[in-house]
Amino acid sequence: MSDTGQAPALWRQLQAGATALAAIRAGTSGTAAIEAVPILLRPGVQALVYAALRELGRAEALRQRLAPRKPPPAADALLCLALALGWREDGPYEAHTLVNQAVEAAKRTEATHAQASFINACLRRFLRERAALVAQTDADPVAQWNHPRWWIARLQREAPQQWQQILQANNRQAPMTLRVNVRRNSVADYLAQLQAAGITARRNGAYGLTLAAPLPVSQIPGFAEGRVSVQDAAAQLAAPLLLQGQEDRAGLRVLDACAAPGGKTAHLLELADAQVTALDVDPARCRRIEETLQRLGLQARVLAADAGQPAAWWDGQPFDAILLDAPCTASGIVRRHPDVRWLRRESDVAQLAAQQERLLRTLWPLLKPGGRLLYCTCSVFRSEGAEQIQAFLAHNKEARLLPSPGHLCPTLAPEGDAVTDNQLSDHDGFYYALLEKGAG
């Protein structure tokens, strides 16, 4: 950023954005790739890269037609970044400015300096032949939907009536939704406080408020004081589902088995005076849980431990309730993390489903008879949701499925015997199954 306080030049943002995109393509998470960007460039680069990730399928198809022989990774990342941002005539940047700045970024970057003329030629040709080149890619489903081919095919099989709606939702930017801490203020009172501060929001579920426009948390009234947290509306269903009818029960023992970063742990404690044990296998992520609880003025037993190895952390006393927010493909939060679609491989689905099955099988004996286990994933794939629970019920006759939301897909209402969802809500894709343990 210049000394005059002006925004960084577009070529600098493209330079940093291409580096981040190349890292993501090499397997780095979007979060880590953006954190590596210099802090003054970070907000603009994140917006630029996330926008490009939502158009990457189209960009790669266009690059294939402009340059069938794939260029080196750094040059390919910069070229695809520019194409992703510029292929639409109503894109975020004026076309010739974007091309000039992309070429400038190439010239000023050691890894792409030798390909600057090549990048210039490709982008100039694209400007001349834009309509024809775009039309040539329209028949490619990866270009049309900006998801991997296997992902599209899987949704077509599993959700034949909704797959287009799900993919369209994934390509939209997620809204910012807050969860009101009802220990500190009511939802209605906090909504009035936002309105008094000139912040437009609407109700979203029992505890949520979705902002008309996202804000830095530093600008959200009462955030630092723990009056509110940021949490998607679908994720806000977990705590009330697990606790329903037991909010006032004294001494309730609850396990949050995969708790980081602590949003659901905190919500449990906001709704009930429970004894909560929160686990995460990563000590650094456990610190995030503790920081979340500290901000909200809440306490839990936070342990860096593997939920799948209870001999290392369990005291032998069964739990009244268990929340298993299991590791998954994150296929339901693509609009919030657009890198996920490009990082996942089809083989990951079966591997993660096996891990989910092991966690369910391992944690079920830790639950009291009459207790409840809430299984959830932020996934839209049935093998991580309905199929997982169907198999579990078939092998555990003492388990009973209670009314649950089931698969919550973006833009879709729950199906079957489901908890009624707010039809006006805007939420990520999730799966929820509430299980009750019988006498055996």
Phi, psi for residue 435 in degrees, rounded to 5: -110, 140
Q: How confident is the model at residue 2 (pLDDT cuts 50, 70, 90)?
A: very low
Those residues whose C-beta lies under 8 Å from the C-beta of residue 121, and which sit 6 or more positions away, are: none
**What is the average per-residue pLDDT within 19-39?**
97
Which domains are assigned to the chain? 10-141 (1.10.940.10), 177-230 (3.30.70.1170), 235-437 (3.40.50.150)
Task: Retrieve residue 323's tokens.
Answer: 């929340």
- Selecting among 258, 286, 378, 409, the annotated active-site residue is 378
- Give the burial class of 230: count Cβ atoms within 10 A of its Cβ; 0-12 exposed, 13-18 middle, 19 or more buried: middle
Confidence of residue 409 (pLDDT cuts 50, 70, 90): confident
Confidence band, pLDDT 50/70/90 cuts, at residue 371:
very high
Assign 321 to helix, strand or coil.
strand
Q: Check if 378 is active-site.
A: yes
Read off the pLDDT band of 423 (50, 70, 90). Answer: very low
Whole-model pTM: value is 0.92
The whole-number average pLDDT for the span 349-363 is 98
Is the peptide bond prior to 310 cis by the omega test (within 30 degrees of 0)? no
Q: On the CB side of 174, how many CA atoms lie within 13 Å of its CA?
A: 21
pLDDT reading at 226 higher than 70: yes
DSSP string, 188-234: HHHHHHHHHTT--EEEETTTEEEESS---GGGSTTTTTTSEEE--TT
pLDDT band at 425 (very low <50, low <70, confident <90, very high): low
